[in-house]
Structure 1
Amino acid sequence: MSSPAAQSSKEPTAQSELPPTASSSSSQITENRSPHSSGSTTAEDLSAWSKFFNRHAQLGRNRRHRNESDHKESMRKLRRLVLNRVPDDDLHTPFGPSRPLVWKLLLGVDCSATHYLDLVARGPSPAHVKIRNDTFRTLATDQGFKERVSEEMLIRLLEAFVWRSMDMYEDDAEASMEEDAPLSFSYVQGMNVLAAPFLYVYSAQSATLTSTSLSDPAAKGKQRKIGSEMEAFYCFAAFIERCCPLYVQPTLVGVHAGLELLDRCLNIADPSLFAHLRSKNLTAELYAFPSVLTLCACTAPLSEVLHLWDFLLAFGVHLNILCVVAQLLLMRDQLMDSASPMKLLRSFPPIKARAIIGITTTLVRDLPDEIYQELVAHTGAML
């Protein structure tokens, strides 16, 4: 897989499809911390979601009549619905719970149970020790996550990803005659936390599949509940490879580029807050590394992280930089009043997805074009 080129103009789905917002000052933004921040899905929203899923099911039954125009229009409708909040457990679709389907549609994922089981059957990967050093502490304080996702599931998924990436790199290297080497993937810091939301979301739906590809003959034919884990794996792999490949290179080049952009975006959004933090020798590298590395998945509660990720999957992972800026603006008063703001920044307040998304959609419209281009490019996303 070759490195994706940055696009040359503002991405329509991340820019023109975002709702219009008033031009922002920091005071307006802080005051907007939100009548909507704890909002649940309304009856009107549920009706709109039901119509979308029923239409999707109808198109699925009539694949011969689908075309590129239908697909683009369907994705536009889906992104608009995401802005109004993806239902949690309020709505089941003809395909099961809503969020798992939404994420698969946004990522364009197809799954193969046989291939996943073959990867799992290989056992420990070359990155096994690094994986085991991280998995036990993944979202360790979130009891709901621990009850739904076992460490063994996380280990299997990450080991399988390493094996799959090694296979793909070998195939690409043999097939490619280009001077630029294809991007390769292995396990890097933070990947365990990026995998966690996928396993959590897809554990809500489980399918019993027959394993016929395990290396142990005695295991063949056993019924294994691997449907949810398999779907999480393919969505995670697509997410890493298409949405943020530069975030998971050995040097974390995309993460460090994002941190530098965060400083610049904060300076544009709120020069006074930026100057105050710099006067304390604070840069994003010091206080925002976990939030950028994990796309805010390191900050509780997970239920709100999922809503934030709905937004990022729909409009672009690059917008996470502005989501972190939005969190700083929501903390503005406390940060400005503090002689030691790093004490506050060591642990960000609980995520309020609706408030953060509202501020982010304002910030993105006020960014200079050249900064927005750099935001889009810094993740290496395949657009």
Structure 2
Amino acid sequence: MIGLSNDTLGYASLGASTFLASAHPSESCGSNGLPLTPNSVRILGRSQLLYTVSHPHLCSYVSIQRGKHERLIVVQEFYKCDLLAAWNNHQEFQTEKRLIQVMHEVMQGLVYLNKLGISCCCNLCPRNLLIDPYGKAKMNGYGLYYMTEQGTAVSFPIGNEFSAPEVLIAGACPELRPAGGGGNPSSDVWSLALMFLSLILPTQTKSGHKEPLEISVATVLLMASKSDHDDLASAIIDQKPQLLEKFEMLSAATQDLLRSCLKFDPTSRPSPIDLLSHPAFAGLTLTAPVDPQPRPFPRCTIASPRKAFPPMDEMLSNYPLPDDCMTLNHDGVKTGIGGLRERSMREVYHLWQLAGGQAEQELVRHGFIISRPPILVKSSSEDTEARKLPLVIREKDVEYQFHRIILFHRLLRAYPYYRSRIVADAHMDIPPYHRGEVWAALLGVDGDTISTYAEIDKVTPTSTDRQIEVDIPRCHQYDELLSSPRAHQKFTRLLKAWVVSHPGLVYWQGLDSLTAPFLYLNFNNEALAYACLTAFIKKYLHKFFLRDNSAVIQEYLAKFCHLVAFHDPLLFSHLASIGFVPELYAIPWFLTMYTHVFPLSQIFHVWDTLLLHPASLALCVAAAILRHLRHQLLDFSFNDCILLFSDMPDINIEQVVKDSVDLHLETPVSLLYRHHAPPSSDRDTEQHLSGPLNDLSSITLAEQRSEICGRISGADVVRLSEALPGSLLVVDTRPQHLFQTGSLMNAWNAPGELWMREGDSPSEDGGPQLVLEQAKLRAVGKMAVVVMGTKAAHHLTLQVCEQLVEAGVARVCLLHGGVDVFQASGHLVVPSPGAS
């Protein structure tokens, strides 16, 4: 175990720096579908290795903290004198011997980092090479490239004018950076040699002062791409001959060191560990071991007794020491450091934090972190990001709801003139704050609802009063508001008002559940709740509350069976085989429009969509519920299904609503035709087509209940064929000689005799299995499989439909009236010879 660094504070200070990690795009996820880990978190985890760095020529990392908005704050050992300041203020740092010593010390630190697993710093420059009071070099900021995953976790390039050419190119073009590469140690060798070259070959200013040789990034890249030389030192001397004399004054070993370290090809440069044995460093010894030393417990966590500092007279002259470094004896003589400066840096920083110190506040106080007020710009288009969020989240989003409330407030003030706009915007979602008013607008409520409601006798006893009194205490009593006595009174008045004002209808159990959503949303406006209830029943439950509603219910259930068989024949066949028919579970769904099944919070979302569509969408909601439970139902027996629907499991109601709309769009309009549908219900009434193509009124209830597949009108077949050519598979079951007299375009002739079951008289063209396989192949990707024949052979056409459904072919429907409906419409064509 290497353990944490416990270097003594001594004459050092603690320096803080900060940077921002790059942020991921909103709502972005990884390949596993989970949100991406913030880059600041990745950096924080990776940086923990830096705490273990302990070497005389490397500044210790004391703290790495994560702040708000992907900010990271780094606290590190710091000295007020860097290499450039020492070069300017101390003559000895301008000599070859001293600079070679500094270079050797830095090289030891690089070798230590390489052995620790930090292959490259990419951040070496004079300001990051600090000089301690005794003239020893210490690298600062060497962990930035490592902790940011080679710079991929930040949006700024890591490097400077002393960086190697390959580092500069990778910073400008990140796509050229090797994938997963940890950096090349020879890049740091380049930076160190370039710093040495700039200091050992200074230029003279007009005032007589020396300045380091300036070598721009552009010059380095230009020479790397076009120079005839292998190394930068030779290229610069060739470009500036006046430097040749100074360069030749260096020892031969130093010249060789610079040329080898500044080679343009990174693979030709020596590594730091190779350079330790270079002749230029002959006579210099290692300050400390370059191998990270494992330390046993407790030395790996507890600081060892500090070594004595060298005498003060060995310090650099006029070195900028911290103010609290010196202590005085009783004679007033400076005796060196004491107190907290004898403790480790991490201990001192911890105690400083306990005393209330915060690195981020210090950076703010010194102007390194500046909070600027946000600049708000009015968007030219609506924000679409929030619309992509789930509905339950959008309903909790303050800003999103603020804009939706304002929008619907304005639209409702212009009702009924803006009803079409209300409908259009409600397709996105309905703000809960205005849900009651929006529902009333969608239902077309208008006029003096208060006077109408006031004129209804809600006091005189009726024969239904007893049943109402029994039902109300069981209606959505989990809700605090609806369980209150005042709510029960309002329930009673609303139900009595509806019964009295509709003498042709009766009270059925479930009417109380239908009333609950409207009362909840309009608790203080009974008149509006009554008007909404009346309009809702008229549109979505037409004739359901007749005294004898068996025909209405049976037709509704038959249509539901047709819908399930159309979209999911496998599930339909399984439920039919175990005897689990809709009469056992679906009647409460339809009679209460699901208010008896789901809590109010989910009913609101179901009805938000239901009110925007025809009454037939209610059938699709039931089909979507079965689709949601499909995998369970296919494995369940009859008893299992009974138990499942006796206590409806939790389902994703938003997904169910979405699926129901999709099913409604994918279902031909005529397939949902009902005799008892409200007059305003959408029907297939193409005006330019003749009557027989639209007329479905001749279908009897007995036929609907006995047939597995629903019937499609001729008008729907023509409309789908013209709008989406090739989207239908038309199966003509007539004999071939009748098929040749005329059929629909691209129809497939499969005579009914070919579909006869095993045991019947065989066919010359093959058995039913072969025809079924062909039908399955042809039905792939079709919006509907339309089976048609003649009226005389209607039983044969039904048999074909049944076989297709039992075989699992989806979207099978029966053409109402057979081929005969097209005889006078001009849609039949004579197939080409050989067509089948």
For Structure 1 versus Structure 2, the TM-score category normalised by the shorter chain is 0.5 to 0.7
| Larger relative contact order (Cα-Cα within 8 Å, sequence gap ≥ 6) | 1
Distance 1:149 1:343, change over 3 A: farther
- Which residue identity does 2:517 align to in structure 1? P
What's the counterpart of residue 544 of structure 2?
247
User: For residues 485 and 428 of structure 2, what CA distance do their matches in structure 1 show?
Assistant: 27
Kept in 2: contact 1:291–1:298 (CA 8 A): yes
User: For residues 265 and 136 of structure 1, what CA distance do their matches in structure 2 show?
Assistant: 36
Q: Secondary structure, in 3 states, of the residue corresponding to 2:597?
A: coil
What's the counterpart of residue 461 of structure 2?
124
What's the counterpart of residue 581 of structure 2?
283
What's the counterpart of residue 331 of structure 2?
none
Q: CA deviation at 1:48?
A: 4.7
Residue by residue over 1:321-348, the C-alpha shift from the partner in whole angstroms, topping out at 9 and shown as x without a partner, is 1101111111111112223322212222
Q: CA deviation at 1:46?
A: 5.2
Q: CA deviation at 1:232?
A: 0.8
- Which residue identity does 2:425 align to in structure 1? L
Q: CA deviation at 1:158?
A: 0.9
Distance 1:240 1:232, change over 3 A: same
User: For residues 643 and 536 of structure 2, what CA distance do their matches in structure 1 show?
Assistant: 33
Distance 1:51 1:142, change over 3 A: closer
Q: In the alignment, is residue 86 of structure 1 matched against residue 430 of structure 2?
A: yes
What's the counterpart of residue 529 of structure 2?
232
Tell me whether 279-288 or 79-88 shows the greater mean CA deviation.
Answer: 79-88
Q: In the alignment, is residue 314 of structure 1 matched against residue 615 of structure 2?
A: no
**Identical amino acids, percent of aligned pairs:** 25
Kept in 1: contact 2:606–2:653 (CA 8 A): yes
What's the counterpart of residue 369 of structure 1?
669
Q: CA deviation at 1:51?
A: 2.4
Alignment of 1:34-183 (within 5 A): 36=390, 38-41=392-395, 43-44=399-400, 47-48=403-404, 50-57=406-413, 59=414, 71=417, 74-88=418-432, 97-109=433-445, 110-143=447-480, 145-147=482-484, 150-166=487-503
Residue by residue over 1:250-278, the C-alpha shift from the partner in whole angstroms, topping out at 9 and shown as x without a partner, is 22343332222111111111111111111
Q: Secondary structure, in 3 states, of the residue corresponding to 2:547?
A: coil
User: For residues 141 and 235 of structure 1, what CA distance do their matches in structure 2 show?
Assistant: 23
User: For residues 539 and 651 of structure 2, what CA distance do their matches in structure 1 show?
Assistant: 25
Normalised to the residue count of structure 2, the TM-score between the two structures is: 0.32
Q: CA deviation at 1:288?
A: 1.2
What's the counterpart of residue 169 of structure 1?
none
Normalised to the residue count of structure 1, the TM-score between the two structures is: 0.68
Residue by residue over 1:138-190, the C-alpha shift from the partner in whole angstroms, topping out at 9 and shown as x without a partner, is 22444453249622211111111122223xxxxxxxxxxxxxxxxx2232232
Distance 1:258 1:123, change over 3 A: same
Distance 1:35 1:112, change over 3 A: closer
Distance 1:277 1:35, change over 3 A: farther
RMSD after superposition: 2.7
| Number of aligned residue pairs | 288
Distance 1:199 1:352, change over 3 A: farther
User: For residues 251 and 351 of structure 1, what CA distance do their matches in structure 2 show?
Assistant: 34
Distance 1:255 1:79, change over 3 A: farther
User: For residues 148 and 362 of structure 1, what CA distance do their matches in structure 2 show?
Assistant: 41
Kept in 1: contact 2:412–2:437 (CA 8 A): no
> Unaligned stretches of 5+ in structure 2?
1-387, 682-836
Q: CA deviation at 1:53?
A: 2.8
- Which residue identity does 1:309 align to in structure 2? W
User: For residues 411 and 643 of structure 2, what CA distance do their matches in structure 1 show?
Assistant: 50
Distance 1:185 1:283, change over 3 A: same
- Which residue identity does 2:501 align to in structure 1? R
Q: In the alignment, is residue 336 of structure 1 matched against residue 639 of structure 2?
A: no
Q: Secondary structure, in 3 states, of the residue corresponding to 2:475?
A: coil
Q: Secondary structure, in 3 states, of the residue corresponding to 2:462?
A: coil
Q: CA deviation at 1:195?
A: 1.1
What's the counterpart of residue 196 of structure 1?
516
Kept in 1: contact 2:465–2:496 (CA 8 A): yes
Distance 1:35 1:86, change over 3 A: closer
User: For residues 352 and 255 of structure 1, what CA distance do their matches in structure 2 show?
Assistant: 27
Kept in 2: contact 1:277–1:341 (CA 8 A): no
- Which residue identity does 2:394 align to in structure 1? S
Q: Higher helix proportion, which one?
A: 1
Distance 1:281 1:243, change over 3 A: closer
User: For residues 196 and 118 of structure 1, what CA distance do their matches in structure 2 show?
Assistant: 22
Corresponding residue to 1:345 among 645, 654, 662: 645
User: For residues 47 and 37 of structure 1, what CA distance do their matches in structure 2 show?
Assistant: 15
Q: CA deviation at 1:121?
A: 4.9
Kept in 2: contact 1:259–1:285 (CA 8 A): yes
What's the counterpart of residue 272 of structure 1?
570
User: For residues 160 and 302 of structure 1, what CA distance do their matches in structure 2 show?
Assistant: 23
Q: CA deviation at 1:81?
A: 2.5
Kept in 2: contact 1:111–1:231 (CA 8 A): no
User: For residues 539 and 660 of structure 2, what CA distance do their matches in structure 1 show?
Assistant: 22
Q: CA deviation at 1:52?
A: 4.0
User: For residues 121 and 260 of structure 1, what CA distance do their matches in structure 2 show?
Assistant: 37
Distance 1:346 1:100, change over 3 A: same
- Which residue identity does 1:99 align to in structure 2? R
Q: CA deviation at 1:98?
A: 0.3
Q: Secondary structure, in 3 states, of the residue corresponding to 1:136?
A: helix
What's the counterpart of residue 308 of structure 2?
none
Kept in 2: contact 1:305–1:351 (CA 8 A): no
Kept in 2: contact 1:45–1:84 (CA 8 A): no
Distance 1:137 1:125, change over 3 A: same
Kept in 1: contact 2:412–2:438 (CA 8 A): no
Q: Secondary structure, in 3 states, of the residue corresponding to 1:357?
A: helix
Corresponding residue to 2:594 among 296, 318, 326: 296
Distance 1:156 1:132, change over 3 A: same
Q: CA deviation at 1:105?
A: 0.6
- Which residue identity does 2:444 align to in structure 1? G
What's the counterpart of residue 248 of structure 2?
none
- Which residue identity does 1:343 align to in structure 2? L
What's the counterpart of residue 21 of structure 1?
none
Distance 1:347 1:381, change over 3 A: farther
User: For residues 467 and 513 of structure 2, what CA distance do their matches in structure 1 show?
Assistant: 14
Residue by residue over 1:7-56, the C-alpha shift from the partner in whole angstroms, topping out at 9 and shown as x without a partner, is xxxxxxxxxxxxxxxxxxxxxxxxxxx98464433645752552243144
Q: Secondary structure, in 3 states, of the residue corresponding to 1:317?
A: coil
User: For residues 39 and 333 of structure 1, what CA distance do their matches in structure 2 show?
Assistant: 28
Residue by residue over 1:40-79, the C-alpha shift from the partner in whole angstroms, topping out at 9 and shown as x without a partner, is 336457525522431442x36xxxxx8xxxx4xx334323
Residue by residue over 1:292-341, the C-alpha shift from the partner in whole angstroms, topping out at 9 and shown as x without a partner, is 11111112321110121121122123211110111111111111222332
Distance 1:261 1:119, change over 3 A: same
